[in-house]
Amino acid sequence: MAIERTLSIIKPDATARNITGRIITKLEDAGLRIIAQKRVRWRTSEAQKFYEVHKERPFYDDLVAFMTSGPIVLQVLEGEDAVARNREVMGATNPADAAPGTIRAEFAESIERNSVHGSDSPENAAKEIALCFSDDEIVG
């Protein structure tokens, strides 16, 4: 299996509850290595750009407001099959559908306040990583 990179975000609902460490433990236990990480607060324009693909969706404005409501932790994760592995440990977008033991089953509050984001394909991972990190911030 190929070594991949994926973009992960620990969202404002999780930073507010001080559970970033518990989420990171789940990522690391799943075999993912954090090779870049920073805690930031997005401006509206940054959240709008990141979620541009959802611009026409009814939840877009609420999503942007939520993602700028508090600090977030941006991460680059590396490992075998990292995109799929991260999506597996995150669980389904809606916590009501997330498998037991996944991050969203344990920690998410709702489909919007769902604690984490993860890239959905290697192609999008490359785009999202480039949007959030400069090359010299990534130390593999």
Q: Which residues bind ligand CMP (CB under 6 A)?
A: 54, 59, 63, 93, 111-112, 114, 117
Annotated active-site residue in 117, 119, 128, 133: 117
Task: Pick between residue 63 and residue 105 the one whose CB is nearest to ligand CMP.
Answer: 63
Task: Pick between residue 85 and residue 117 the one whose CB is nearest to ligand CMP.
Answer: 117
Taking the complex as a whole, how short is the minimal distance between the CB of residue 13 and ligand CMP, in angstroms? 9
* DSSP letter for each residue of 72-130: EEEEEEEEETHHHHHHHHH--SSGGGPPTTSHHHHH--SSSS-SEEE-SSHHHHHHHHH
Q: Tell me the catalytic residues.
A: 117
